[in-house]
A and B are shown apart, each in its own frame.
Chain A
Amino acid sequence: MSAAFVSIAQVSKRFAPHLSLGDKLAAKLGGAVETRAVKAVTDVSLAIRRGETLGLVGESGCGKSTLGRLVAGITSPDAGVVELEGAPIRARGRKTTTRIQTVFQDPFASLDPRMRVGDTIAEGPLAHGLVPAGEGAKAFARRWLGTVGLEPDYVDRFPHQFSGGQRQRIAIARALAMKPDVLVCDEPVASLDVSIQAQIINLFLDLRRRLDLTMLFISHDLGVVRHLCDRVAVMYLGRIVEIGPTAELYGAPKHPYARALLEAVPKIEGGRAVFKPISGEIPSPLDPPPGCAFNPRCPLATDLCRAELPALRELAPDWRAACHYAR
């Protein structure tokens, strides 16, 4: 394992339902109130290396967004720690670093609708003293708009005057204006049109090279991840089931879930080829099945899989999978 730039060590995060007094009372009296906690992320360890782009894929509810929020320092883990170059990124319930920044999925929600985009871009750097106030801040915002491919004269506009792709560029400018070393991207192209997706992917490729960024790229779109990421981690029900170099993993996935996921993606070249989708649905994270979480849907499952949780084992250099039978 080469040196970790961002290290995620045995991190877990659970979400307990928010119970009102009435709910608690009803639960005591045997009412149908959900009191169990959702295990969003369970015992995940990961290392992101300097300069690499790590992809995080999985279906909804697999915990990839929660893991992203933990790495971004937005929430704190219940157990474990996230460190950047050996220093924890949160202390006493607050994020302490500005070196990790985030790009969110929905650019219609992630920009303050009542703030001019120039102020949105300059706000963080101003608050942290990275730019002087006044005209300097405005020039700074103009420069960043230019960097992400927008007209610098748009600084005084409001978010509603931009299209989705343009807003995502603004959100990227806001994140990069903080001069981060690490960028956490949570589904940054999922809500964009196909032709706009390509523009934003190209922008990421360009900025990553120019700014020497380390990236955690979360997406359900396996094609986008293959295009952008050096390594990819596949999550299922809060755990990483496989992690390895992108090209190799896409070529011959070792975990049955990773294989099924890759096969389920419709491909243009595939035409109307008959494919056999995995049966069943993702179990509720409220009570994951015992043993390997994928066992109820896995064509290869045995009694061992139903009894024992498989560990993430190194099967090839830099390539690990959590399956009893993976080779």
Chain B
Amino acid sequence: MAVTFLQPGSPTRRFLGDFRESWIATGALAVVVLIVLLAVFAPWITPQDPYDIANLSLADARRPPGFVGSEGYVHVLGTDAQGRDLLSAILFGLRISLEMGLAAGLFSFVLGASLGILAAYLGGRFETAIMRFVDLQLSFPAILLALVLVALLGQGKGQLIVALVAAQYAYFARTAFGAAATERRKDYVEAAAATPLSGRRIILRHLLPNALPPLIVVATVQVANAIALEATLSFLGLGLPETEPSLGMLIANGFQYMMNGRYWISVYPGIALIVLIVAINLVGDQIRDQLNPRLRR
């Protein structure tokens, strides 16, 4: 039995109200915000600039958490193989991970959403060409594509972002196409065409805002995926140069010491990575649940 009621407020405000009711999602969002703040302000709050080789002393290498180093401060999470303060390295690593994840997410979003919505609006041959290509790419493992591209393009932030976008835009395109194709068939789009309004206006003012909710869900998940993908590439040594270690590389560097008890070099960056990805996914899950009309109470 469906009983419907009129609800006050804008769609966005209702959305935020519902979001606050889930304490898991609210907590996860708080964690994400905290990590982002830590990463943004890393240069001011970390005891050491881990990228400055002049700061590193091999005498401090591979020390356990709590060790007081030659610089005279406590290495709360210990040091890595090059003598970097691990806490500083993790925060700077998070900075890179988030930077890569957000940049890749943003560019994939713009590229994928544009292609998907345009395909849905134009239909016909354009739709067939774009969407078949997207389907083809979706049947291909993203990591494989990213690996090949990084191998071809070489190392560097720009190259990495290109590889991540190429591996991920298809998800956005698929989602945007599905959502926009559904909206396109609705009467309000027909009403806009009957006015008549220009195609540009219909796409920007009607299709895009209405196709946005599922795209936001994909965006949260894909930012998390981009971070994981970047970590994987760095772990395999194909990511960023060793002078700017990201989380994946920190984990890789500590890997060889795991067996002789120096667990912290890998484990702490690993925990940071897991917490970040899980928190983003929890936020994404809640958004998805709220946007799914079938789960609506």
Contacts and interface: CB of A to CB of B under 8 A. Distances in A.
User: Are A and B close enough to touch in the complex, i.e. CB under 8 Å?
Assistant: yes
Interface of A: 72-74, 94-95, 98, 101-102, 104-106, 109-115, 123-124, 127-128, 158, 160-163, 171, 174, 178
B197 A127 contact: yes
Contact of A158 (B11, B187, B210): B11
A98 B196 CA distance: 7
Given A98-B196, A101-B195, A160-B7, A123 B205 contact: yes
Nearest to B188: A112
B191 A102 contact: yes
B6 A161 contact: yes
Contact of B197 (A72, A113, A123, A171): A123
B139 interface: no
A163 B195 CA distance: 24
Nearest to A162: B6
A234 B196 CA distance: 29
B188 A111 contact: yes
Contacts of B8: 161
Given A115-B205, A161-B6, A74 B188 contact: no
A190 B188 CA distance: 17
A113 B11 contact: yes
A113 B194 contact: no
Contacts of B192: 112, 123
In terms of DSSP, what is the predominant structure of the interface of chain B?
Answer: helix
Given A72-B194, A123-B195, 7 more contacts: A102-B194, A104-B190, A112-B205, A114-B11, A115-B206, A124-B195, A160-B11
A212 B71 CA distance: 88
B198 interface: yes
Interface in B192-237: 192-198, 201, 205-206, 209-210
Nearest to A96: B196
Contacts of B243: none
B186 interface: yes
B195 A98 contact: yes
Contact of B188 (A94, A109, A127, A163): A109
Contacts, number: 70
Give the top 4 A-B pairs by smallest Cβ distance, nearest first: A110-B187, A109-B187, A124-B195, A95-B196
8 contacts: A94-B196, A109-B187, A109-B188, A112-B210, A123-B195, A123-B197, A158-B10, A171-B191
Interface of B: 6-8, 10-11, 186-188, 190-198, 201, 205-206, 209-210
A106 B187 contact: yes
B129 to A, nearest CB: 13
A95 B197 CA distance: 9
A114 B6 contact: no
Contacts of B191: 102, 104, 110-111, 171, 174
Nearest to A105: B187
Nearest to A111: B188
Contacts of B196: 73, 94-95, 98
A197 B152 CA distance: 67
A287 B209 CA distance: 41
Nearest to A109: B187
Given A95-B193, A98-B195, A113 B210 contact: yes
Query: Which of B10, B190, B193, B195 is the most central at the interface, judged by chain A CB atoms within 10 Å of its CB?
Result: B195
Query: Which of A72, A104, A112, A174 is the most central at the interface, judged by chain B CB atoms within 10 Å of its CB?
Result: A112
A109 B201 CA distance: 19
A161 B7 CA distance: 6
Contacts of B6: 160-163
A178 B194 CA distance: 11
Contacts of A162: 6
Contacts of B197: 123-124, 127
B132 to A, nearest CB: 9
A106 B187 CA distance: 8
Nearest to A127: B197
Given A113-B11, A113-B210, A114-B11, A74 B194 contact: yes
A101 B210 contact: no
B57 to A, nearest CB: 58
A109 B195 contact: no
